Each structure stands twice: as structure tokens, then as C-alpha cells.
Amino acid sequence: MDGLQQGNFFKDAAPPASGERFDTLLAHRNLVIERIASTSRITSQLYVQQQDEWVMLVQGDAMLDVAGRQVALAAGDYLFLPAQTPHTLLRVSDGALWLALHLSHGE
């Protein structure tokens, strides 16, 4: 069973003292799966990524600015962000957990 990886999404998922922590759960070919642990003490940062991103808020709630549109997310909500879509996390609850899938385009 070469290549088999197993883990628990909630293990070691406590948020940092401030900001966000990005933990790579799997990097395989053109796919990266991350767990993001957030605290409510964030500094908003604009992201414009080269890859497509699908993100699900597993627990907590958040407000994002996506290309000038405010998007509210609650636990269980997901969002697809095509490559080059500007987005900023405006507000997030303490202890929020995200599952993010990044898919880069083949050359």
C-alpha cells in the first residue's frame, strides 16, 4: 500500500495566537490539500493566487471580500475561487478551521 497516507483533520488543529496557520495535509502532483486554522486576531491580506482554490469552512464563521463582493460563510459552506480571483479574509471567528484544495494548471 505504497503512498497511503492517513491522519486526522482535527489533530493539532488549535489556532495560532494570532493570524492563520496553513498545514499541508497532502501535496500530490498538481493538488495541494491544506488545513487552515484561524484566530479572530487577523490582519487582512489580499490574495491573488495562480491556482484554482476550493475552500470549505469546517467550523466557525467568516466574512470574505471576493473581487469586491462580500461573502459570508458558516460551518459547512464552501466556495470555489478560480485562479487570479482577488480575495481577502475580512473577519473570522476564533478557532475557525478550513479545508482548502489548490489545483494548479498543467504546463
Beta-carbon count within 10 A of 90 CB: 14
Q: Residue 101 and residue 93: Cα distance in Å, rounded?
A: 21
Does residue 107 carry a pLDDT above 60? no
pLDDT band at 1 (very low <50, low <70, confident <90, very high): low
Average pLDDT score, the chain: 94
* 92 touches 37 (CB < 8 A): no
Span 18-44, mean pLDDT? 95
pLDDT in tens, 54-91: 999 999 999 999 999 999 999 999 999 999 999 999 99
The domain locations on the chain are 20-103
What are the CA-CA distances from residue 3 to residues 25, 44, 84 (Å)? Answer: 13, 37, 32
Output the pLDDT for position 106: 65
Query: What topology is assigned to 20-103 in CATH?
Result: Jelly Rolls (2.60.120)
Output the pLDDT for position 30: 95
Q: CA nearest 43: which of 78, 8, 19?
A: 19
Output the pLDDT for position 71: 98
Span 47-59, mean pLDDT? 96
Output the pLDDT for position 98: 98
